[in-house]
Amino acid sequence: MIPSHTLKEISRIVGPAYLTTHKDQLDKHGSDGTKMAFLPDAVVFPGTSEEISQIFLLANRDRFPIIPRGAGSGMTGGALPVQAGLVLAMDRFDRILSIDTDNLIAKVETGVITAHLQERVERIGLFYPPDPASADISTIGGNVAECAGGLRGLKYGVTRDYILGLNVVLPTGEIIKTGVETVKGVAGYDLTRLIVGSEGTLAVITAVTLRLIPKPPSKKTMLAFFKDLSMAVQTVSSIISEKIMPATLEFMDHLCIRCVREEMGIDIPMNTKAILLIEVDGDQHSIEQEAKRVESITHGLGAIRFQSATNQEDVEKLWEARRNLSPSLLRLRPYKVSEDVVVPRSRLAEFISFLDLLSKKYKLPIPAFGHAGDGNIHVNIMFDKANPTETENVNHVVKAVFQKTLEMNGTITGEHGVGITKSPYLEMEISKPAMDLMIRIKKAFDPNGILNPGKIFP
């Protein structure tokens, strides 16, 4: 519990309007995309790095947790105040500071919503490729802290590939800059890379220097429907081995298709067992050529239907369905545990068949969808908390999914991070010496363990 005299000091630092202990605000800032809930002692909305620094000094003095928070869309509980403490809401860091069109660099504060940045740079012919499906709600700070991936990972990479430098406040109170504002730069250790993906456990990020690229002039979206998942997976491999690099290559399995059909009334042939959403981008001539080759590959591999952007309405609807797929799965059961494993994309079919076996063995629906191009699969284990057997079986399924993933040389999380939901399993992937080193790094940044405690490490 934060002592009341300390709350008064925090209030003096930020101004009384920016500190709250109001129950509604505590509830709102105590939950995230996992739908789990913990109550913080208070929520603060700092306006400057100096204010954050002063708050850290108090936290070290009185030993209370500080939990950085963007939009609270995280899927592994990274922003949850699991040991109560002070939620540090970055809402006021919401300015796009500069867009440098000569050097293709943007500087933004961390509370900026991802889609706002994307729209702003696209208006002047530039492109910020990282595109999590949550782009309309998530913040750049949350994306950096989680190293968010998304729909364009295959061709364009993930958040870390676009971060040149950071402005951060260390848990010990120092305000520092990491990285560079140039394309190259190797002075000292790469602290930027260390902090990207550190899930708010090493530092509070206040501003980010981002790399931009020219916006591709055109794009074309295609849909391919298959009556067999292995045909869809073979199509993914063939497209890539034909040296076509789609900006997006997403798949949905048969259970996802059922939910989407029921939820959105989309016309999908009844015998469809897998759908690929494919988007190519580039200059008009090359995308037309690539689209033709994609069409021919999908037909060659037995697609039952192929649609390109000519039927724009259905294509748009399916994109919308893809972005909202996660909640529509609740038609199958009222609760779900979502994992975001990555396996080599050539072994996607083998992995999905394994999920089918698990689904039968434990009598739980396990719809899967995701970024087929980079092998990142969102595995959704649906269950009903009112049914104790189902609730217990979820844990068996999660463990089996991770075991299989690691046997296939994959990773237990491609983009959602470890947070609290995956921390019990981290030792399955990370060796003891590597884990010990990570813990020593955490201690070097945060000797008193005040920044986002209870996350990542088992």
> How far apart are CB 361 and ligand FAD at their closest, in Å?
28
For residue 409, how many other CB atoms are within 10 A of its CB? 10
Among residue numbers 107 through 136, which ones bind ligand FAD (CB under 6 A)?
110, 132-134
Kindly indicate which of the ranges 9-17, 56-64, 74-82, 426-434 contains the residues binding ligand FAD, using the contact rule CB under 6 A: 74-82
**Rounded distance between C-alpha atoms, residue 57 and residue 43, angstroms:** 17
Q: Does 46 bind ligand FAD (CB under 6 A)?
A: no
Pick from 29, 152, 416, 422: which binds ligand FAD (CB under 6 A)?
Answer: 416
Q: Please answer whether residues 171 and 442 qualify as being in contact, where contact means their C-beta atoms are separated by less than 8 angstroms.
A: no
Scored b (16 or more CB within 10 A) or e, 340-377 reads: bbbbebeebbebbebbeebbeebebbbbbbbbbbbbbb
For residue 218, the one-letter residue type is S
Pick from 90, 191, 294, 332: which binds ligand FAD (CB under 6 A)?
Answer: 90
Binding-site string for ligand FAD from residue 314 to residue 343, where x marks contact by CB under 6 A and - marks none: ------------x-----------------
**Rounded distance between C-alpha atoms, residue 368 and residue 352, angstroms:** 8
Measured from the CB atom, the residue of 68 and 129 that comes closer to ligand FAD is 68
Q: Does 200 bind ligand FAD (CB under 6 A)?
A: yes
Measured from the CB atom, the residue of 149 and 410 that comes closer to ligand FAD is 149
Among residue numbers 425 through 454, which ones bind ligand FAD (CB under 6 A)?
452
For residue 276, the one-letter residue type is L
Applying CB under 6 A, what is the total number of residues that bind ligand FAD?
36
- Cα distances from 376 to residues 153, 191, 318, 343, in angstroms, run 10, 26, 19, 7
> How far apart are CB 445 and ligand FAD at their closest, in Å?
12
> How far apart are CB 33 and ligand FAD at their closest, in Å?
4
Pick from 46, 70, 171, 410: which binds ligand FAD (CB under 6 A)?
Answer: 70
Measured from the CB atom, the residue of 193 and 305 that comes closer to ligand FAD is 193
Kindly indicate which of the ranges 71-79, 170-178, 309-317, 328-336 contains the residues binding ligand FAD, using the contact rule CB under 6 A: 71-79
Alpha helices per DSSP H over 174-253 = 191-195, 229-241
Sole residue written with tokens 């709102």: 28
Measured from the CB atom, the residue of 304 and 438 that comes closer to ligand FAD is 438
DSSP 292: H
Q: Please answer whether residues 246 and 239 qualify as being in contact, where contact means their C-beta atoms are separated by less than 8 angstroms.
A: yes
- Cα distances from 276 to residues 16, 163, 252, in angstroms, run 52, 30, 7
Q: Does 209 bind ligand FAD (CB under 6 A)?
A: no
208 has which bridge partners?
Answer: 108, 166
**Rounded distance between C-alpha atoms, residue 12 and residue 58, angstroms:** 12
Q: Does 142 bind ligand FAD (CB under 6 A)?
A: yes
Pick from 7, 13, 43, 75: which binds ligand FAD (CB under 6 A)?
Answer: 75
**Rounded distance between C-alpha atoms, residue 395 and residue 410, angstroms:** 20
Question: Cα(first)–Cα(last) distance of the chain, in Å?
Answer: 23
Q: Which chain residues interact with ligand FAD by CB under 6 A?
A: 32-33, 67-75, 78-79, 90, 110, 132-134, 138-139, 141-143, 145-146, 148-150, 199-200, 204-205, 326, 415-416, 452
